[in-house]
C-alpha cells in the first residue's frame, strides 16, 4: 500500500470514527456468520460532513474517468450517489428493487445508450447490491466505468472487472455460530440493524 493510500485509509477511518459508525457487540451478518464488529453505515450518512469528505474521495478517484452519471441502489446508495454526482457535476440516478428481484430504474430515470456510469454503494459485504446495480445499468444501455464504495468489508477480496475504489478497507473476523466466541461467552445477539433498537453502541468522538 502506498503512502497516499495509507493516508486516505486513515482519513476515511477518522470520518467513520467521528460519526460513531464502529459498533462493538454480538452481531449476525447477512451471511449468517457471527462477529463482534459492525459498521453502521447510516451513522456516516446522517453526518453531512463525514459524507461529504468520503464522497470527495470517491469523486476525486474517478474524476478523470469521464463519468456522465452516478448510480446508487436504494437506500444508502441514494445519499452517496447524490453527493458524488454533485461533486462531479453530473446527474445521479437511483435503482430500486424490482418486483421480481434484481434492481430496476423507476420514477422516469433513464440512461442514454453508451453513457458512462459510475456505480456507488455504501458498504460492500457480499457484493450483491453492486452486482444488481451494475446489471440494471448495463441492461438499460449504460456502460459501467467504475465502482466506488464507502467501505469494503471483504478487505479487497471483492472481484470486479472495472476499477473498484473503497474509501476504507476492513476485515472483520466472523465465525459460524457453533464457533462464535460471543455465543460461547453467552453475549446476547444485538437486534437486527434497522429495528429501531440499539443493543450495541459506539459513542461519538
Instruction: State pLDDT tens for residues 105-132.
Output: 788 788 899 999 999 999 887 778 888 9
Query: Would you say residue 204 has pLDDT above 80?
Result: no
pLDDT of residue 194: 52
> CB count, 10 Å around CB of 58?
25
pLDDT tens, position by position, 141-181: 999 999 999 999 877 777 788 999 999 999 888 899 999 99
Give the domains, in start order, of the chain with CATH numbers.
Answer: 3-20+55-172 (3.40.50.2020)
pLDDT tens profile 9-18:
999 999 899 8
Whole-structure pTM value: 0.83
Q: What is the DSSP string of 100-158?
A: TSSEEE-TT----TT-EEEEEEEEESSSHHHHHHHHHHHHTT-EEEEEEEEEETTTT--
pLDDT at residue 137 in the model: 93
Amino acid at each position: 500500500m502506498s503512502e497516499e493510500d495509507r493516508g486516505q485509509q486513515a482519513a476515511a477511518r477518522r470520518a467513520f470514527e467521528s460519526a460513531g459508525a464502529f459498533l462493538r457487540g454480538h452481531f449476525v451478518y447477512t451471511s449468517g456468520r457471527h462477529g463482534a464488529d459492525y459498521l453502521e453505515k447510516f451513522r456516516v450518512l446522517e453526518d453531512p460532513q463525514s459524507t461529504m469528505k468520503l464522497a470527495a474521495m470517491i469523486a476525486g478517484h474517478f474524476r478523470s474517468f469521464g463519468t456522465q452519471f452516478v448510480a446508487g441502489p436504494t437506500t444508502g446508495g441514494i445519499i452517496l450517489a447524490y453527493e458524488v454526482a454533485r461533486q462531479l457535476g453530473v446527474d445521479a440516478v437511483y435503482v430500486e428493487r424490482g418486483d421480481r428481484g434484481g434492481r430496476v430504474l423507476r420514477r422516469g430515470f433513464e440512461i442514454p445508450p453508451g453513457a458512462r456510469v459510475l456505480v456507488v454503494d455504501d458498504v460492500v459485504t457480499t457484493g450483491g447490491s453492486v452486482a444488481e446495480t451494475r446489471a440494471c445499468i448495463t441492461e438499460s444501455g449504460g456502460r459501467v466505468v467504475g465502482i466506488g464504495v464507502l467501505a469494503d468489508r471483504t478487505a479487497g477480496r471483492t472481484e470486479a472487472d472495472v476499477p473498484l475504489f473503497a474509501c476504507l478497507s476492513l476485515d472483520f473476523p466472523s465465525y459460524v455460530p457453533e464457533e462464535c466466541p460471543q455465543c460461547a461467552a453467552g453475549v446476547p445477539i444485538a437486534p437486527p440493524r434497522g429495528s429501531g433498537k440499539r443493543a450495541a453502541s459506539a459513542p461519538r468522538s
